């Protein structure tokens, strides 16, 4: 197979890396890729605009591409998968209607309500004053969400009424552009969070390994929300009953995509973000693609051939989707630019990746990197690198990841030092 991967982040590097291990893959193209994807076996970066369906289709035809894997949410919401499928190209990723499960919080909540999927109580608003009145009536803590895509930064868990009002005004004042023109206000659920990603095709769901992300920027879960500062898999605090309930919910969601009134052409990854509440798992959000950085710990634990799995999903062959998982633990620590998730500088020279990757069980996935005119690897984003380590125990994987992080350096390197520390203390750490 020849495969084209769309995207430029750590998720796409991990997907490309996993696909490159398949004996069925002859050539891998990554559009636009990053400083790490170019070094993956069989892969090369290509200058194709992933938001331009016609350009993607032209490249796919010219290079005899058998499968297009859409990494980020934006091209999915924009309908790139629709146009490729209409032209006869196999695509891993849902059509635009299915991508609305992520592209619109209001649509997603309506989908959950229609299918009895447990989630937080909510209300939606198209203007500031009614939203503010509702927030004052409900009180804090409360959750304010921009309806549309906001790069993982459009959600505020407001601990005070003042913070909630500020978040509502920020949305309607244009802080998130068109994404904030509608606001969803939710009750604030409590408990640890857990992600369960599933391959979905023809209304069938195939669960991957669970993972737990760390959204806040700083140690102790302090600071603003980010795209994710670290993650691990599996998740030791999840009980057998909770896992079974999350699988049941994802099965129900997958089945609902294939029947009226939704009738979504869903062939790709459905990401379930869960809160493990005292009343059981409840859905915080659905995403229409692989999580970032969850992918970076899930795929290294996948023993099955990812290329075969993705092609079966893309072609609607649910009976051919078979998943086998490693018992290894995986821990990922994100190295970010100084100032992230706020403003930050680019172009800082990165050293030590080869030394880190030489450690047993360590893989370094690039997120925001590029090669400069002098051939140096430099920072090119907020989240720069994903340092992933496998181990026979949680502690071993965690220690390896931090040892590797210590070998990598660039000016302003920022990281959390407590990825996984809470889970090591057990479920009581969340009480």
Whether residue 404 contacts residue 354, with contact meaning beta carbons closer than 8 Å, is answered with no
Residues 296 and 338 grouped into a single domain:
no
Structure confidence at residue 431 (pLDDT): 81
**What range defines the domain where residue 83 resides?**
2-95
Is the domain of 201 the same as that of 272?
yes
Q: Is residue 102 part of a domain?
A: no
On whether the CB atoms of residues 183 and 147 are closer than 8 A, the answer is: yes
Q: Within 204-345, where are the H helices?
A: 240-257, 295-298, 306-314
CATH number at residue 183: 3.30.1490.20
Spell out where 292-353 has E strands. Answer: 329-336
CA dihedral 226, 232, 234, 235 (to 10 degrees): -60
End position of a domain, from candidates 257, 285, 320: 320
CATH classification of the domain holding 200 = 3.30.470.20
208 and 314 part of one domain: yes
Say which DSSP state 310 is in. Answer: H
Task: Give the pLDDT band (50/70/90) at residue 261.
Answer: confident
Using pLDDT thresholds of 50, 70 and 90, give the confidence band for residue 87. Answer: very high
Residues 9 and 56 in one domain: yes
The CATH number assigned to the domain holding 357 equals: 3.90.600.10
Alpha carbons 430 and 175: distance in angstroms, whole number: 32
350-366 pLDDT, tens digit each: 999 999 999 999 999 99
Mean pLDDT of all residues in 8-20:
98
pLDDT of residue 429: 92
Q: Which residues contact 133 (CB under 8 A, 6 or more apart)?
A: none
Tell me, yes or no, whether 209 lies in a domain: yes
Answer whether residue 397 is part of any domain: yes
As a whole-number percent, the residues of the chain with pLDDT over 70 amount to 100
pLDDT, residue 56, reads 98
CATH number at residue 62: 3.40.50.20
Average pLDDT value over all residues in the chain = 96
User: Angle formed by the axes of helices 240-257 and 105-114, to 10°?
Assistant: 100
304, 360: one domain:
no
Last residue of a domain, one of 320, 343, 378: 320
What pLDDT is stored for residue 167 in this prediction? 94
Q: Are residues 338 and 397 in the same domain?
A: yes
pLDDT score recorded for residue 224: 86
Average pLDDT, integer, range 193-210:
97
DSSP 106-157: HHHHHHHHHTT--B--EEEESSHHHHHHHHHHH-SSEEEEESS--TT--EEE
Q: What does the pLDDT read at residue 260?
A: 85
pLDDT of residue 181: 93
- Residue 352 in contact with residue 380, Cβ under 8 Å? no
The two structure tokens encoding residue 32: 């636009």
Mean pLDDT of all residues in 311-320: 98
Please check the confidence at residue 129 and state whether its pLDDT lies above 80: yes
Tell me the mean pLDDT in the region 168-177: 93
Q: How far apart are CA 26 and CA 2, in angstroms?
A: 6
Domain shared by 197 and 315, yes or no: yes
Q: Residue 386: inside a domain, yes or no?
A: yes
Residue from 98, 74, 81 nearest 149 by CA: 74
Q: How far is CA 112 from CA 246, 254, 275, 402, in A?
A: 14, 11, 15, 39
Report how many domains make up the chain.
4
Both 197 and 308 in one domain: the answer is yes
What pTM was computed for the model? 0.95
Is 349 inside a domain boundary? yes
Q: What's the pLDDT score for residue 225? A: 83
Using the structure block, give the residue that is written with the tokens 């990757």: 357
Residue 112 falls inside a structural domain: no
* Residue 306 within any structural domain of the chain: yes
Domain endpoint, select from 277, 295, 320: 320
Question: Residue 103 falls within a domain, yes or no?
Answer: no
Please give the pLDDT value at position 61. 97
State residue 320's pLDDT score: 97
Q: Are residues 222 and 312 in the same domain?
A: yes
Mean pLDDT throughout 400-407? 98
Q: Are both 205 and 282 inside the same structural domain? A: yes
* Average pLDDT for 4-25: 98
From residue 413, alpha-carbon distances to 350, 369, 376, 406 in Å are 10, 13, 17, 10
In the prediction, which pLDDT does 375 show?
92
The mean pLDDT value for 117-129 works out to 95
Cβ-contact 390, 330 below 8 angstroms: yes
- Do 149 and 198 belong to one domain? no
Do 68 and 171 belong together in one domain? no
């Amino acid at each position: 197979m020849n495969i084209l991967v769309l995207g430029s982040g750590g998720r796409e590097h991990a997907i490309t890396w996993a696909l490159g291990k398949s004996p069925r893959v002859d050539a891998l193209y990554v559009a636009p890729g990053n400083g790490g994807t170019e070094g993956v076996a069989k892969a090369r970066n290509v200058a194709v605009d992933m938001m331009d369906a016609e350009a993607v289709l032209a490249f796919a035809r010219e290079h005899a591409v058998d499968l297009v894997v859409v990494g980020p949410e934006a091209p999915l919401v924009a309908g790139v998968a629709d146009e490729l499928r209409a032209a006869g190209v196999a695509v891993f990723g849902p059509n635009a209607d299915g991508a609305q499960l992520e592209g619109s919080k209001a649509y997603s909540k309506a989908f959950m309500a229609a299918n009895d999927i447990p989630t937080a109580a909510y209300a939606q608003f198209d203007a500031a004053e009614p939203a503010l009145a509702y927030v004052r009536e409900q009180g804090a803590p409360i959750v304010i969400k921009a309806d549309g895509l906001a790069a993982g930064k459009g959600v505020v868990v407001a601990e005070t009424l003042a913070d909630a009002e500020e978040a509502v005004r920020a949305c309607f004042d244009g802080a998130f552009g068109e994404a904030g023109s509608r606001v969803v206000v939710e009750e604030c659920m409590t408990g640890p969070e857990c992600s369960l990603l599933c391959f979905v095709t023809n209304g069938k769901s195939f669960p991957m390994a669970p993972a737990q992300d760390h959204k806040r920027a700083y140690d102790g879960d302090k600071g603003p929300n980010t795209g994710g500062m670290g993650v691990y898999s599996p998740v030791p605090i999840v009980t057998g009953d909770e896992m079974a309930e999350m699988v049941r919910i994802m099965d129900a969601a997958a089945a609902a995509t294939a029947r009226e009134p939704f009738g979504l052409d869903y062939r790709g990854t459905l990401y379930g973000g869960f809160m493990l509440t005292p009343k059981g798992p409840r859905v915080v959000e659905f995403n229409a693609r692989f999580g970032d950085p969850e992918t970076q710990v899930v795929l290294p634990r996948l023993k099955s051939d990812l290329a075969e799995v993705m092609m079966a999903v893309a072609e609607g062959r649910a009976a051919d989707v078979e998943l086998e998982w490693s018992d290894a633990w995986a821990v990922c620590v994100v190295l970010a630019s100084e100032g992230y998730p706020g403003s930050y500088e680019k172009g800082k020279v990165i050293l030590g990746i080869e030394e880190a990757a030489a450690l047993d069980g360590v893989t370094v996935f690039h997120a925001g990197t590029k090669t400069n005119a002098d051939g140096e690897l430099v920072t090119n984003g907020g989240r720069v690198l994903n340092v992933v380590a496998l181990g026979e125990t949680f502690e071993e994987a965690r220690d390896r990841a931090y040892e590797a992080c210590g070998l990598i350096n660039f000016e302003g390197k920022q990281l959390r030092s407590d990825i996984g520390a809470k889970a090591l203390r057990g479920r009581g750490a969340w009480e």
